[in-house]
Chains A and B, each alone.
Chain A
Amino acid sequence: MAKVIIPTPLRKFTENEGSLNTDGTTIQDAIKDLTEKFPELKKHIYDDSGSIRSFVRIYVGDDDIKALQNEATPLKEDSVVSIIPAIAGGIK
C-alpha cells in the first residue's frame, strides 16, 4: 500500500493523522480515496473545476508529479506521496 503524507495544516481534517495508507494505484485514485474518507480536505486540494489546486504540489518520493505523469502517475506498494502546500507571498 502506498503511503500519503498529510501536511501539518491539513491534519485537522484527517483527525490529526500525519500519514495514511491508500489502495490507490495512481495519484488520482489515492487523492480520491483520501478525500472520500475525509471530505473536508476536498476544498483544500481541489479547485472549483475538480483539478488539483495550483497552490498544492504533489510529490512521489522526491519527484513532482508534474515531472512524471501528473495525476496519472502510478503508485507502487512502497511509494510515499507528499501533499505540499505552496508557500509563497509578498508585498501587494
Chain B
Amino acid sequence: MNKPLIFFKGALADMLKDLKEAYPNEGCGFLFGNDTEHRHIRIAQKVINSKEGDQRRRFEIKPTDYMKAERFADENNYKLLGVYHSHPNHPARPSEHDLKQAFPYFSYVIVSVMEGEIANITSWQLDENGKFQEEKIEKESIKY
C-alpha cells in the first residue's frame, strides 16, 4: 500500500497553473518534498517539455534538467519525489508510454485538463511487478 500524497497549497497551485498554461500541450515538472509517514509535496517546479513533434500527446524532460532537479533536491534538503504531467482532453489515467518509461519509487502525478480546465488529478507508483498502483491523494488538499 502506497503512502498518501499530500500537496502543500502552493505546490498544488503552481502545478495546476503550469498545466493550464501549457494547454493544449502537455506540461510537465518535478515534485519535491519529504517522504515520511506521508509524502508531502512542498514544491512543484515546472520544466520545459522538450519533446520534438506533437506536444499535445507527448512530453519529455531533458536529462540535463533532470540533473538540475536532483541537485536542487540535495541542496535544499528535499527529496525528488516524482514527476507531474498533463493529459490534455484525456483522462488522468497512465498510458502505455507512461508505464514503459516509469521508474520505481517516483510518484507519477497525472492531471487531466479538459478544454483548458483542470478536470482530475491522479497519482501512480510502480509496484514490484512493474505495474502502476494508484496512490491516494489527500482530498482536502485538492481545490480547483
Q: Which residues of A contact B (CB under 8 A)?
A: 5, 7-12, 18, 44, 55, 57, 59, 62, 64, 82, 84-92
- Answer whether residue B19 sits at the interface, using C-beta atoms and an 8 A cutoff: no
Whether B97 and A88, one on each chain, are in contact in the complex, defined by CB atoms closer than 8 angstroms, is yes
Whether B87 and A85, one on each chain, are in contact in the complex, defined by CB atoms closer than 8 angstroms, is no
Complex contacts, A18 vs chain B, CB 8 Å:
74
Q: Which of A44, A64, A86 contacts B101 (CB 8 A)?
A: A86
Whether A89 and B105, one on each chain, are in contact in the complex, defined by CB atoms closer than 8 angstroms, is no
- Answer whether residue B117 sits at the interface, using C-beta atoms and an 8 A cutoff: no
Secondary structure class of chain A's binding surface, majority of residues: mixed
Query: Complex formed: what's the CA distance from A59 to B68 in Å?
Result: 13
Q: Which residues of B contact A (CB under 8 A)?
A: 26, 28, 51, 57-61, 63-64, 66-67, 70, 73-74, 79-81, 83, 85, 87-88, 90, 94-98, 100-106, 108
Q: A62-B64, A89-B58, A89-B85 are in contact. Are A9 and B105 (CB under 8 A)?
A: yes
Q: Which of A8, A59, A64, A89 contacts B59 (CB 8 A)?
A: A89
22 residue pairs A–B, Cβ–Cβ below 8 Å: A7-B70, A7-B103, A8-B106, A9-B104, A9-B106, A12-B105, A18-B74, A59-B63, A64-B63, A82-B67, A85-B66, A87-B61, A88-B51, A89-B101, A89-B108, A90-B26, A90-B58, A90-B85, A91-B57, A92-B57, A92-B90, A92-B95
Q: How far is the CB of B120 from chain A (nearest CB, A)?
A: 14
Whether A8 and B79, one on each chain, are in contact in the complex, defined by CB atoms closer than 8 angstroms, is yes
Whether A87 and B60, one on each chain, are in contact in the complex, defined by CB atoms closer than 8 angstroms, is yes
Query: Complex formed: what's the CA distance from A8 to B35 in Å?
Result: 12
Complex contacts, B100 vs chain A, CB 8 Å:
55
Q: Which of A9, A57, A89 contacts B97 (CB 8 A)?
A: A89
Whether A8 and B73, one on each chain, are in contact in the complex, defined by CB atoms closer than 8 angstroms, is yes
